[in-house]
Amino acid sequence: MITPSNAWEAVLDESARWKVYDRLQRKPWYDVAKWAAEQFGAREPSRQTLYNFRKRMHSQEAAHRLEIAVAARDEAGALAAASVDDDDIISACKTMGAGLALQLNDVDGAMKYMKIALAMGDQRIKKQSVEISAERLKLETCKRFIAWAQDRRAIEIASSSKSNKDKIAALLAYMDSQEK
For residue 169, count other CB atoms closer than 10 A to its CB.
13
DSSP for 31-68, please give it.
HHHHHHHHHH-PPPPPHHHHHHHHHHHHHHHHHHHHHH
Q: How far is CA 11 from CA 6, 42, 46, 51, in A?
A: 10, 6, 16, 18
- Describe the chain by its helix, strand, coil percentages, rounded to 5: 85, 0, 15
DSSP for 109-126, please give it.
HHHHHHHHHHHHHHHHHH
Q: Give the per-residue pLDDT at 140.
A: 84
The whole model's pTM is what?
0.43
Phi first, then psi, for residue 152 (nearest 5°) are -60, -45
Q: How do the domains of the chain map onto residue ranges?
A: 1-80, 84-136, 150-180
Q: Give the per-residue pLDDT at 122.
A: 84
Q: pLDDT tens digits for the chain (180 residues)?
A: 556 556 778 888 888 888 999 899 999 999 999 998 888 887 888 899 899 889 999 888 888 888 888 888 888 777 666 655 677 777 777 887 777 777 777 777 778 878 888 888 888 888 889 999 988 988 887 777 777 777 788 778 878 888 888 888 888 888 778 766
